[in-house]
Amino acid sequence: MTAQASKNRQLPSLRLRSFPESSVLAELRDFFTSSPGKLVSMALVLITMGLFAGWFTSAAQLSRTEVLEQNLSDYEPRAHAAQVLYSSLSAANESANAAFVAGGLPADEIQSSYSVALATAGKALITSATSLPSDDSPAHANLDTIAMNLPVYTGLVETARTNKRLDNSVAAAYLATASTLMQDTMLPAAEGFYREETEDLRRTHGKFASPPWAIYGVLGIALASVLLTHRYLARRTQRRINRGLVVAAAALAVAMTWVVVAGLTSSTYSLRAEQRGTAAVDALSQARTLTQKARSMETMALVQRGAGRGVPASAFADTLLAAEEELKTIGESDPQITAAVGAARADARRWVTAHQQIVAREATGDYLGATRVAIGTDPGSAAVAYRSLDGHLTTAIDRARTLYRDNVNTARFAIAFSGPGAFLLCVLAAVGVAAGFYPRVREYR
């Protein structure tokens, strides 16, 4: 028992000797609790903050630049292809109806419009399919719907034309079936795809509609820390100016000013791109598709009336009214778009006048006269007014797209060099901090 007790009494001393305090750690603790050690600690903290602020600013600005570049190279072209696909399918349907109504009248231009619209739709379909991410299932489903039904649609149209030439009464039924397939299946799929791509563009673009507040906060904290440290050292050392810290503060102030101006400029142009570009393209595209739908109704009314059926008279007016409502959402920020929209409205009024003539001639049994007003080349015909209207809307869409790309390019350029520039200035600030503290630490030797 005595030996065991003696052994137990020796354990505490053994434990103490097993974990002796490191002489290096003790020296570091003593150093950093001393006056020069505190100065070194402050310098290390400020240097770390400056370098972190530079890295964070550079990385964040680079990320913003890359996303804006991706918008121009990926998202926007895909949204444009979706818009072209949507409008081209609608235009093909309108041209097919008009060509059928033409019958024995010269219809080379109408037939050419149909072929061009189909070719444009096919090209847009291929472009969209090849540029889509493989995991975008809803978009692929919409494109598959269009791709599977497009040959069916063209086959029905050609069958209708063949029967029309043979003067078979089933020709109108084939064309009506083709038009129904387009209106009820293909165009909804195209519109769904267009909506998805437009929302993707807006979602990625919307991230940069507000300034980079996080960057401002990090740089602001670093600048405030340097200024407070300078004030502390001035009181402690009785020296009003520390040149190194003044250089550091100036570098951080320049970096912050640069980033703030660049960020606000980029955000402003990003917002303009949304308002004058994406939103305008969307409204104009919807208006154009609605006018194409109204034109299809107008020509289909002639087809179906000749087959003993009709289209509700109010459908045409309601569709044009919906197109006008879309145009009302477009502001007057760009003179070219405003002029094109104004011209389109004037064309719409001429078109309505021509449409009233079509209805009046149909009512009196003058079917051939109604057909000539609908698809003829006279200045007062519905076809001339519609083509002019469609041309002005296309011009406005192209202008809105140009505005979007120009504004995004400006937004990208505004921040392109602010990240690397801010990083270099923050490195200069870190060097200034080191230079400012070095003489103060040497005074303790």
d(CA 368, CA 362) in angstroms, rounded, equals 9
User: What's the pTM?
Assistant: 0.80
Residue 398 inside a domain? The answer is yes
**Model confidence at 106, in pLDDT bands (50, 70, 90)?**
very low
d(CA 112, CA 124) in angstroms, rounded, equals 18
The predicted pLDDT at position 151 comes to 94
Looking at every residue in the chain, the average pLDDT score rounds to 84
| Structure token digits, residue 205 | 């673009």
Residue 415 inside a domain? The answer is yes
> Model confidence over 313-330: pLDDT tens digits?
678 888 999 999 999 888
What total of structural domains would you count in the chain?
A: 1
Predicted confidence (pLDDT) at residue 443 exceeds the cutoff of 90: no
> Model confidence over 301-314: pLDDT tens digits?
888 764 444 556 67
Higher-pLDDT residue of 322 and 239 is 322
Residue 31 inside a domain? The answer is no
- Whether 381 contacts 374, CB under 8 Å: yes
Residue 6 inside a domain? The answer is no
- Whether 163 contacts 142, CB under 8 Å: no
The predicted pLDDT at position 144 comes to 93
> Model confidence over 389-435: pLDDT tens digits?
999 999 999 999 999 999 999 999 999 899 999 999 999 999 999 88
Q: Which of 166-180, 193-207, 215-229 has the lowest mean pLDDT?
A: 193-207
Predicted confidence (pLDDT) at residue 444 exceeds the cutoff of 70: no
Residue 250 inside a domain? The answer is yes
Residue 231: domain span: 39-442
> Model confidence over 125-173: pLDDT tens digits?
999 888 888 887 888 999 999 999 999 999 999 999 888 888 888 888 8
The predicted pLDDT at position 249 comes to 93
The predicted pLDDT at position 221 comes to 94
Predicted confidence (pLDDT) at residue 87 exceeds the cutoff of 60: yes
Residue 407 inside a domain? The answer is yes
Helices (H), 166-242: 171-181, 187-206, 213-237
Q: Which of 169-183, 236-250, 296-310, 345-359 has the lowest mean pLDDT?
A: 296-310
| Structure token digits, residue 282 | 């969307």
Can you say how many angstroms the Cα of residue 17 is from the centroid of all Cα atoms in its chain?
A: 69
In a 10 Å sphere around its CB, with 0-12 CB exposed, 13-18 middle and 19+ buried, how is residue 352 labelled? middle
Burial code of 271-303, b = ≥16 C-beta within 10 A, e = fewer? bbbbbbbbbbbbbbbbbbbbbbbbbbbbbbbbb
Predicted confidence (pLDDT) at residue 341 exceeds the cutoff of 90: yes
Q: Summarize the confidence of residues 33-53 as an average pLDDT.
A: 82
Residue 3 inside a domain? The answer is no
d(CA 113, CA 136) in angstroms, rounded, equals 32
The predicted pLDDT at position 311 comes to 53
d(CA 302, CA 11) in angstroms, rounded, equals 109
**Model confidence at 235, in pLDDT bands (50, 70, 90)?**
confident
CA distances from 185 to 80, 126, 171, 231, 298 (A): 21, 19, 21, 72, 20
Higher-pLDDT residue of 284 and 212 is 284
The predicted pLDDT at position 104 comes to 46
Residue 325 inside a domain? The answer is yes
Q: Summarize the confidence of residues 29-51 as an average pLDDT.
A: 75
Predicted confidence (pLDDT) at residue 181 exceeds the cutoff of 90: yes
Q: Summarize the confidence of residues 280-287 as an average pLDDT.
A: 91
d(CA 395, CA 134) in angstroms, rounded, equals 33
